Structure 1
């Protein structure tokens, strides 16, 4: 019979005949000073459960929308998952949603002319030639299924679609997310109280909880995404690329908007692919890459070896199920390496591909979040598969910015060698480079 030795330290029982990973898990979950909700920045202290202090910080327009939508703010806001449900080890995080979920893209069989959607709108405005469309005069809560399907196809074609002056409850936003796919429920990130899957986008709150976001460092992620990935979403990124079935349609609704600043920029993966030469496209087609999670965890077999991230392998060039167009699927923060080439070659190729997405202004759209009616909010719905995006923190928190986000997970990524690029399909010219 083995001898059990118990050591008392900081009111924690350490039992030496337990496996080391179990001891570490007990330590982390029981010790209030150890932060497991934001492992990217040790200074951020977000408490588990609904936060009563956070409720006091809510902008008035956000409070009214949440209360009108039936959210019980007396319990606190936002709500962080219980510590017992937040994964400690990378294998636990990898196991979340590690199974096939049926998915049919709502845009795949929609009317290509979008008569139900466009016919009901007062105006349809393209922000740029390639990216971004604004629909005027429709309420997202009132769309029919046919209009929702046509909207999905429009998003798949135009990357991101905007709706100003929306009276949209958090529950209605979540319901629309369920219509478009399997809603992602994040094991760590704060969500609307009582509505898992309705993520809170609120830099002001995270700054109050210790995030050192300022004028000097707000764009650091665009130079060093490893150290500064979590700095307020200012770095170019694509959401949830590490998932078995990564993000499809994502819907961000802002109910508190700065008068000046706080814009968001999107870049097109279709156009990024078409920026490449034919020979380079041939090289990339069929290649696969390793994609990682934004959050870090511990390795159960090497818990003292530093943070580990969830990794999954997906095609570097994907085919969209609704449009049938090829697109470049990379982003600086979470595409780790290309399979089948040397690490040096992988870094050189990826850094060029990141630059193609980030530095070509003609494949991007910048949106100013404004309303024309007091008390209303603004929505952006984009396709994470075919885009990267980033926030612009130029208002520096001088006026509040608060919103809620719902992400619908899509298909298992695939590449169809018979698919064509956007410009090929539309008959647009492509440069033929000399040998």
Structure 2
């Protein structure tokens, strides 16, 4: 006859400390356990190995921006600050914070912004505009407000060949709202809030990047997982206040590939029948985080994700336009419907985004010309 012992979150091992604290201590102290996503190194701080593969255009921009590369690049997350437990992660930015919707009172004609450009090219009917002949670093406040409105209307706006320093990029972000400081991702050393997206670096550290198409059929990313390059998604939808504007600056661009796709949530909503719109208006969805954590009350129950409830249809405060707020990678269910009903409707809505090319834009960045894109994350998935 065998005996088993069940511990609760307040039980003690070895009589030293509560179980949840002891587990956290083991995770934080072990060099063989990582609490970040993927399979990146469990070490933290600037990475000297990253400098060995840093592309020259990136190095030039970083050094010109005053970034200290003497200890390495990029800055890896501080393991002591990455949440282990679900309640800790849920508490991050879990409050209302005031912000100014810069596009709301901007000139609808956007004369200050568009009048200063050499060219303004709408890339498709519903989504995507490229502005030629403007440097983002030189915009005045009136032009920044008009850019916020243009982004709200066109979902994604592109600028090529920008001379934009890292501090100036952060300054632009702070003008439009609170800069999100992601404690679980690599950053530019000395500039928290500037997340480094670097596929070659992640591959070097063991991340298995695959390019199979998981969008075909009714793929359930919430059950089977995905990478950002596999499934249409929007970042940080699980937050109390999801991101408004995200801006991306490309330092180095491959000679082929590297294209990025976006889809318009406005146009996706407009494709629905009036009866379907009436059915969906007022509905709420459960969305979840990309990162997983332990449940303090059930630490041996396996990793769990943050879940939060948001409206399925959102209205933009600057335009007044309605947009679908669902994405295959991070939407779990529609509240109030049975699992079967929810799955059927969500997979249909995912397909509206993913299978209608007329509401999408595909942008080719290069080659070898640093570009800069700005888009409203709440209203597209790419």
TM normalised by structure 1 equals: 0.82
> Is 1:326 paired with 2:335?
no
1:47-66 equivalent positions in 2, closer than 5 A:
47-66=43-62
Alignment match, 1:26 = 25
> Is 1:251 paired with 2:247?
yes
> Is 1:279 paired with 2:279?
no
* Structure 1, unpaired ranges of 5+: 1-13, 390-435
Alignment match, 1:166 = 162
Distance 1:213 1:74, change over 3 A: same
> Is 1:383 paired with 2:382?
no
Q: Could you tell me whether the CA contact under 8 Å between 1:131 and 1:159 is conserved in 2?
A: yes
Separation of aligned partners in 1, 2:260 and 2:284: 29
* Structure 2, unpaired ranges of 5+: 1-12
Q: Which of 173, 178, 181 lines up with 2:177 in the alignment?
A: 181
Q: CA deviation at 1:307?
A: 1.1
Alignment match, 2:193 = 197
Q: Could you tell me whether the CA contact under 8 Å between 1:221 and 1:229 is conserved in 2?
A: no
Aligned residue for 1:349, secondary structure, equals helix
Separation of aligned partners in 1, 2:228 and 2:331: 19
Q: CA deviation at 1:227?
A: 6.1
Q: Could you tell me whether the CA contact under 8 Å between 1:289 and 1:313 is conserved in 2?
A: yes
Aligned residue for 2:288, secondary structure, equals strand
1:312-391 equivalent positions in 2, closer than 5 A:
312-370=308-366, 377-389=370-382
Structure 1, 107-116 or 77-86: larger mean CA deviation: 77-86
Aligned residue for 2:187, secondary structure, equals coil
Alignment match, 1:138 = 134
Separation of aligned partners in 2, 1:154 and 1:282: 28
> Is 1:119 paired with 2:112?
no
TM normalised by structure 2 equals: 0.93
Q: Could you tell me whether the CA contact under 8 Å between 2:32 and 2:42 is conserved in 1?
A: no
Separation of aligned partners in 2, 1:73 and 1:59: 13
Q: CA deviation at 1:312?
A: 1.1
Structure 1, 228-237 or 193-202: larger mean CA deviation: 228-237
Q: CA deviation at 1:344?
A: 1.3
Separation of aligned partners in 2, 1:119 and 1:71: 34
Q: CA deviation at 1:225?
A: 2.0
Q: CA deviation at 1:16?
A: 3.3
Separation of aligned partners in 2, 1:101 and 1:226: 29
Q: Which of 104, 111, 119 lines up with 1:108 in the alignment?
A: 104
Separation of aligned partners in 1, 2:220 and 2:338: 21
Q: Which of 196, 207, 210 lines up with 2:206 in the alignment?
A: 210
Q: Could you tell me whether the CA contact under 8 Å between 1:221 and 1:227 is conserved in 2?
A: no
Alignment match, 2:77 = 81
Q: CA deviation at 1:164?
A: 0.4
Q: Could you tell me whether the CA contact under 8 Å between 2:33 and 2:42 is conserved in 1?
A: no
> Is 1:306 paired with 2:302?
yes
Separation of aligned partners in 1, 2:264 and 2:119: 23
Separation of aligned partners in 2, 1:94 and 1:221: 29
C-alpha distance after superposition, 1:154-205 (max 9, x if no partner): 0000010000010111111111111111111112111111111100011110
Distance 1:51 1:232, change over 3 A: farther
Structure 1 segments of 4 or more deviating over 3 A? Answer: 14-17, 219-224, 226-230
Q: Could you tell me whether the CA contact under 8 Å between 1:288 and 1:314 is conserved in 2?
A: yes
Q: Could you tell me whether the CA contact under 8 Å between 1:249 and 1:384 is conserved in 2?
A: yes
| C-alpha RMSD over aligned residues | 1.6
Q: Which of 232, 235, 252 lines up with 1:236 in the alignment?
A: 232
